[in-house]
Amino acid sequence: DIQMTQSPSSLSASVGDRVTITCRASQGISNYLAWFQQKPGKAPKSLIYAASSLQSGVPSKFSGSGSGTDFTLTISSLQPEDFATYYCQQYNSFPFTFGGGTKVEIK
């Protein structure tokens, strides 16, 4: 199985900050990487697929990059509604696997 490792597991940031979250796969997954946002008590929301393509309706402040084993999610200017937990997921091969999550908190 492919292991997905996210870092950091949590971070504190201020409104307006640029935030970067990394996700590393235990083996190459090409660009079959998705990012999701989850707020407390809510279902996850899809943000990015194919490592860098925005889902419909997702604001351009979110961006993704990477290929192979190393990926990043960047939020260009953190807003109050962006405080949440973010997960990566590989869908290159079964079983599809998620990273452990990165909780973005208010500083």
Partner 1 sequence: EVQLVESGGGLVQPGRSLRLSCTASGFTFGDYGVSWVRQAPGKGLEWVGFIRSKAYGGTTEYAASVKGRFTISREDSKSIAYLQLNSLKTEDTAVYYCARNNGYTPGWQIDYWGQGTLVTVSS
Burial class (CB in 10 A: 0-12, 13-18, 19+), 64: buried
**CA–CA dist 39, 52 (Å, integer):** 22
**What pairs with residue 64 in β-bridges?**
73
72 in contact with partner 1 (CB under 8 A): no
- Per-residue mark of binding to partner 1, 3-42 (x: CB under 8 A): -----------------------------x-x-x-x----
Interface residues with partner 1 (CB under 8 A)? 1, 32, 34, 36, 38, 43-46, 49-50, 53, 55-56, 87, 89, 91-92, 94-101
